[in-house]
């Protein structure tokens, strides 16, 4: 703090009549701050009887956030480690790309989901990536996240955190199936910054295609939006995009409105997890809105075109890639037994059986083959249910005296985790959606399509948005879009 | 379009029962599109009697946008050329950095200000930069804007646009006074992306400073926000920042709340254009909110510290630079006579007297010395008034038959532009603002400070926000911030 004192001495305050109250009180309060000016390389282990047990959560997706929301912070200190400080409400992410919703409306800061994290003395959020786990010493090794888009960012630094309980909820990664050029030229749709990139590129292409001197062919290429993958994300994004084209591009970019097209490429069937009747309905609706549905397999991705397996070349201006997820390098690097598909293997209580006090939930985990249960699909619904279940389990373990490290081995854990599918929803644009309430692909059950489904879709998501603030904003955004159209400023 | 036909042929549609309606109707409508597939290198000159005269506007700031809003598009085709497709409501930009307002609420797309631009056959918006002007042939030479942040952006391409009337409204540039390191390490506060960068950096530093292993001194550096320049922008940003610290950081980053400080460095007096009583009030309010006011001159800017003229070193985590504006390289490159200060010299009717049909308004223009008038300050107020005046003048010229190139030389132009200062406003945080209604620095007149002023400040800006959509959003943002606090998700 020497520099601050020098600054105070050598500079005359503008308010020369009396000294700045800040410069006096400020020094006193800061000199007594915790840590005493020394260095510390992490959070050491807790002491039973003196400290609360420490729960370390890796990740801020559906699983991790639902877990933190349910944890009783009178029992545990919660330390969350994640490269992003917010949860993304993924089902509404596609809507933000075209301006139906604001980016901020679908992002929920962790501190709003679990307020203790920003105020309780032993709870923290660290903007960092977990590099490795040492289950023997109950420690995770981390590295702060740097960000190339901000000026003068620091070199990442490393630190360790001891845990009493560890929950791995760091999610999965978009799969590229080893196809060349996907990471370089396609945009995924999993994070808010992906949606921002898609939006910037779409608006840029709309404006560039209007500039004089551009050929008809180039104009058509720039405005060709290609979506790879016919799962719910790909279908919803195609639907939103065609809504945007029908309602907003026709009015606000009328010079180029006849040049913009959407193509959805899928190797098998679109929405394969849905009822056959709903699939047919979706196909009809999308085609009606101008989305071109193509069955094909991508072989190669180049800067301005993709090559399909049959040799067809498809020029594109915007390429969105949403073909499902696979294990991330971090998950693959962990030395725990894996479930089919390379996820971290867990038992019926979501524990990693080979070690003490470590759990895994969400897209990064799957039941071990030995449990005789199938690996659950990578859905928000599964992740959320697991987070909720595990929060209850951990609260119960702590109340039974097993909160601290190595104290839970002999505890009775109660009912194992059982997943009951509540159904699937997807919107296909133009105030139409699908709702499939069957419990599995084979089961019989209710399925709906059309405006009523769309209304259910919107209402369901509105009630599931976590904070009242964002619930309010999502409703306001929808109303504004309805009245004024979508926003097209490219910022 | 050969590729689109190949794609249609070689790929089986998912809806195999009947052919996709899009693939049939789509081809017909696109094959008849304008341009006929040929190349054209720009917009040629208009023909009197056949075409409307073409008004080309360079820039989308206060001046250019107010002009386009006032132009009668039954008289003119409007072509706007600018590197951004929206106007920024600059007086509220400081509020977006800390989340009081959303970024989108202060950006107004040009197409919403002048709807003709996106729908009328001869009117366009081009996302491009003007490279040079040829007043003899009535042509501007342009280059499309590329953007490093988007994947696979095209090489810029060049085109020409002929004009009947040209309005240069491309604004000024932040001045660095030749101080080393300013562009590399400091962030300006003039565009939405600047506000986004400030926000990302502020939230990053708040989170990094909470990570274990960081020294007390480094923590203090990371959370030291330094603002250079005590004009309205610098003061308002400091006030917003201290509001954010008092209300939101204390609650949501309580681990680091004692480490964050704001220092405002100004070489002379803060808010020098305001009444002395208001200046004293501002100084007192800012100091009370914890903003440290320092008189000093910056000599050198380094990645983590600045050096003042007296040798003091000031470490910083965030450095915001707002010391006023000077002419941009484009304006300096133009061969027109200049006003004092290097701006484009104009006469009392805002014309560039040496050439036909070229006007300049806003921060890039100033009265020629020969007019005997002082150069007006670089204020939104001046730019807006000039835009409004010139729109009226151009409408009148066209009605009098002087719309096309070289037809207005002998027309009577009527009353010259006269600027009447309506007063200045600035907020200093904590529901306090200043309102100075004097017409000039020397004049006597009403000046107010306090809550009433703050209320006037908010109401005045709310009514000046251009579209109803954004007016609605600004009001909603303010209400939400009041109820829920500021948003802290770092997206």
pLDDT at residue B2, rounded to an integer:
60
In contact, A110 and A86? CB cutoff 8 Å: yes
Give B149's pLDDT tier (boundaries 50, 70, 90).
low
CB B317 within 8 A of CB B222: yes
Contact A200 B150 (CB under 8 A): yes
Higher pLDDT, B452 or A172: A172
Question: Domain range for residue A154?
Answer: 42-172+327-399
Mean pLDDT of A119-140: 94
Identify which of A126, A19, A30 has the alpha carbon closest to the alpha carbon of residue A78: A126
Residue B462 belongs to a domain: yes
- What was the pLDDT predicted at B3? 65
pLDDT at site B430: 80
- The first and second tokens of residue A437, run together, are 């309430």
Residues from chain A contacting residue B4 (CB–CB below 8 Å)? 220, 224, 261
Confidence of residue A12 (pLDDT cuts 50, 70, 90): very low
Same domain, B295 and B194: yes
In a domain, B417, yes or no: no
Query: What contacts B276, CB < 8 A, 6 or more positions away?
Result: none
B488 pLDDT higher than 50: yes
User: What is residue B319's three-state secondary structure?
Assistant: strand
Residues B313 and B361 occupy one common structural domain: no
Name every chain A residue with its beta carbon within 8 A of the beta carbon of B14: 230, 266, 269-270, 283, 293-295
Same domain for B218 and B315: yes
B278 in the same domain as B333:
no
**In Å, how far is B139's CA from the nearest CA of chain A?**
14
Residues A240 and A368 in one domain: no
Residue A412 lies in a domain: no
Q: Given this model, what pLDDT does residue B147 score?
A: 65
Residues in A closer than 8 angstroms to B23, CB to CB, are: 292
Phi first, then psi: what are they for B107, rounded to 5°? -110, 130
B491–chain A nearest CA distance, Å:
6
- Going by the DSSP 8-state scheme, the letter that residue A157 receives in this structure is -
Which of A18, A22, A158 is the best residue to mutate to test the B interface, defined by the most B CB atoms within 10 Å of its own CB?
Answer: A22
Say which residue the tokens 């910056």 belong to: B298
Nearest CB among A39, A104, A124 relative to B255 is that of: A124
Instruction: Output the pLDDT for position B442.
Output: 75
Q: Confidence band (pLDDT; 50, 70, 90) for A478? A: confident
pLDDT (mean) for B190-218: 91
A–B CB contacts, 8 A cutoff, strictly below: 326
Name the closest residue on chain A to residue B283, using Cα atoms: A15
The residue among A222, A214, A203 whose CA lies nearest residue B42 is A214
Q: What is the DSSP letter of B62?
A: H
B254 and B187 share one domain: yes
Instruction: Tell me: pLDDT of A25 over 50.
Output: no
Query: With contacts defined as CB-CB under 8 Å, which chain A residues touch B215?
Result: 37, 39
The arithmetic mean of pLDDT across residues A392-421, rounded, is: 94
Residue B371, both tokens: 């007019």
Split at pLDDT 50, 70, 90, the class of A5 is: low
Number of domains in chain B: 2
**CA angle, B459 then B465 then B469, to 5°:** 110
Q: What is the pLDDT of residue B152?
A: 59
- Is A257 contained in some domain? yes
Q: What is the pLDDT of residue A343?
A: 97
> pLDDT per residue over A244-285, tens digit each?
998 888 888 888 889 999 999 999 999 988 989 999 999 999
Residue for token digits 């960068």? B197
- Look over chain B and give the mean of its residue pLDDT values, rounded to a whole number: 87
pLDDT for B62: 95
Indicate whether A292 and A339 sit together in one domain: no
B109 and A85 in contact by Cβ < 8 A?
no
What does pTM read for this prediction? 0.88
A343 and A449 both lie in a single domain: no
Pairwise CA distance, residues B75 & B216, whole Å:
66
H helix count then E strand count, chain A: 16, 24
Residue B455 shares a structural domain with residue B310: yes
Give the confidence band of A41 by pLDDT, cuts at 50, 70, 90: confident
- Shortest CA distance from B40: residue in chain A: A213
pLDDT in tens, B383-422: 999 999 999 999 999 999 999 999 988 899 999 999 998 8
CA–CA dist A394, A114 (Å, integer): 16
Residue B321 scores a pLDDT above 60: yes
pLDDT digits (tens, 9 = 90+) for B33-57: 333 333 347 899 999 889 999 999 9
CA distance B346 to B216: 56
Which residues of chain A have a CB within 8 Å of the CB of B12? Answer: 295
**Measured between CB atoms, which of B107, B287, B312 is closest to A22?**
B287
| pLDDT of B197 over the 70 cut | yes
Is B157 within 8 Å of A293 when comparing Cβ atoms?
A: no
**Residue B4 has what pLDDT?**
61
Predicted local confidence at residue A7, as pLDDT: 62
Residues A437 and A472 in one domain: yes
Q: Has residue B235 got a pLDDT over 50? A: yes
Paired residues of A141 in beta bridges: A132, A160
DSSP assigned state of B106: G
Please, how many CA atoms are within 13 Å of residue B207, restricted to the half-sphere of its CB?
30
- Cβ contact B490–A103 (<8 Å): no
pLDDT at position B374 is 94
Candidates A3, A2, A18; CA nearest to B293 is A18
Tell me: pLDDT of A491 over 80. no
A217-253 pLDDT, tens digit per residue, is 999 999 999 999 999 999 999 999 999 998 888 888 8
Is pLDDT of A82 > 80?
A: yes
B243 in the same domain as B113: no
Answer whether B118 sits within 8 Å of A251, measured CB to CB.
yes
Cα(B422)–Cα(A428) distance, integer angstroms: 52
Residue with tokens 């037994």: A337
B276 chain-A contacts, CB cut-off 8 A: none
Task: Count Cβ neighbours within 10 Å for each residue of A425-434 and write b for 16 or more, e otherwise.
Answer: bbbbbbebbb
B7 domain residue, yes or no: no
CA pseudo-torsion sign B402, B407, B410, B413: positive
Does B238 reside within a domain?
yes
Residue A406 maps to a domain: no
Provide the CATH number for the domain around residue B62. Answer: 3.50.50.100
**Angstrom distances, CA of residue B42 to CA of A211, A215, B45, B141:** 8, 12, 10, 9
Do A243 and A302 reside in the same domain of the chain? yes
Q: pLDDT band for A447, please (50, 70, 90 cuts).
A: confident
Please report which confidence band the pLDDT of residue B477 belongs to, taking 50, 70 and 90 as the band edges.
Answer: confident
Task: Check B103 against A491: CB less than 8 A apart.
Answer: yes
Structure ipTM: 0.85
Cα distance from A158 to chain B (closest Cα, Å)? 8
More confidently predicted of B478 and A80: A80
pLDDT digits over A296-318, tens only? Answer: 999 999 999 999 999 999 999 99
Q: At A19, is the pLDDT very low, low, confident or very high (cuts 50, 70, 90)?
A: very low
Give the pLDDT score at A232.
92
Tell which wins on pLDDT, B193 or A23: B193
Mean pLDDT over all residues of chain A? Answer: 87
Of B26, B107, B224, the CB nearest to A491: B107
- From chain A, the residues in CB contact with B86 under 8 A are 489-491
User: What percent of chain B has pLDDT above 90?
Assistant: 64
Asked if residue A251 belongs to a domain, the reply is yes
Contacting residues of A for B15, CB less than 8 Å apart: 283-284, 287, 293
Interface probe, candidates B1, B6, B11, chain A, greatest A C-beta count within 10 A: B11
Question: What is the structure's pLDDT at A32?
Answer: 28
């Amino acid at each position: 703090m020497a520099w601050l004192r020098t600054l105070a001495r050598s500079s005359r305050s503008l308010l020369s009549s009396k000294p700045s109250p800040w410069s006096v009180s400020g020094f006193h309060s800061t000199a007594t701050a915790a840590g005493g000016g020394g260095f510390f390389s992490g959070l050491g282990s807790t002491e039973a009887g003196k400290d609360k047990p420490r729960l370390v959560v890796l990740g801020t997706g559906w699983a991790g956030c639902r877990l933190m929301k349910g944890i009783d912070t009178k029992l545990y200190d919660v330390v969350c480690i994640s490269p992003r400080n917010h949860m993304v409400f993924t089902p509404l992410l596609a809507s933000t790309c075209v301006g139906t919703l604001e980016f901020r409306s679908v992002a929920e800061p962790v501190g709003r989901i679990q307020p203790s994290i920003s105020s309780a003395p032993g709870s923290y959020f660290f903007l960092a990536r977990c590099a490795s786990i040492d289950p023997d010493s109950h420690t995770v090794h981390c590295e702060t996240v740097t960000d190339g888009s901000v000026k003068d960012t620091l070199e990442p630094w490393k630190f360790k955190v001891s845990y009493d309980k560890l929950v791995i909820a760091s999610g999965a990664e978009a799969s590229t199936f080893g196809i060349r050029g996907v990471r370089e030229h396609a945009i995924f749709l999993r994070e808010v910054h992906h949606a921002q990139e898609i939006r910037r590129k779409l608006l840029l292409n709309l404006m560039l295609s209007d500039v004089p001197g551009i050929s008809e062919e180039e104009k058509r290429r720039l405005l060709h939006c290609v979506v790879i993958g016919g799962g719910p994300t790909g279908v919803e994004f195609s639907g939103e995009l065609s809504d945007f084209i029908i309602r907003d591009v026709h009015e606000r970019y009328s010079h180029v409105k006849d040049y913009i097209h959407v193509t959805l490429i899928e190797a098998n069937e679109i929405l394969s997890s849905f009822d056959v009747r709903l699939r047919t309905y979706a196909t009809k609706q999308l085609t009606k809105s101008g989305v071109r549905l193509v069955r094909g397999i991508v072989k190669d991705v180049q800067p301005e075109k993709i090559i399909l397996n049959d040799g067809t070349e498809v020029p594109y201006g915007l390429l969105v890639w949403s073909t499902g997820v696979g294990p991330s390098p971090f998950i693959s690097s962990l030395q725990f037994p894996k479930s089919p598909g390379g996820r971290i293997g867990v038992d019926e209580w979501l524990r990693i059986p080979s070690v003490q006090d470590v759990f895994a939930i969400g897209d990064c985990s799957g039941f071990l083959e030995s449990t005789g249960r199938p690996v659950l699909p990578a859905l928000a619904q599964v992740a959320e249910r697991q987070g909720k279940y595990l929060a209850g389990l951990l609260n119960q373990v702590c109340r039974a005296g097993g909160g601290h490290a190595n104290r839970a081995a002999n505890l009775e854990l109660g009912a194992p985790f059982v997943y009951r599918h509540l159904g699937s929803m997807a919107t296909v644009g133009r105030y139409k959606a699908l709702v499939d309430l069957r419990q599995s692909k084979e089961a019989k059950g209710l399925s709906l399509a059309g405006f009523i489904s769309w209304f259910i879709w919107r209402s369901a998501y509105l009630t599931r948005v976590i904070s009242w603030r964002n619930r309010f904003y999502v409703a306001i955004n929808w109303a504004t879009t309805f009245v004024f159209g979508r926003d097209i400023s490219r910022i």
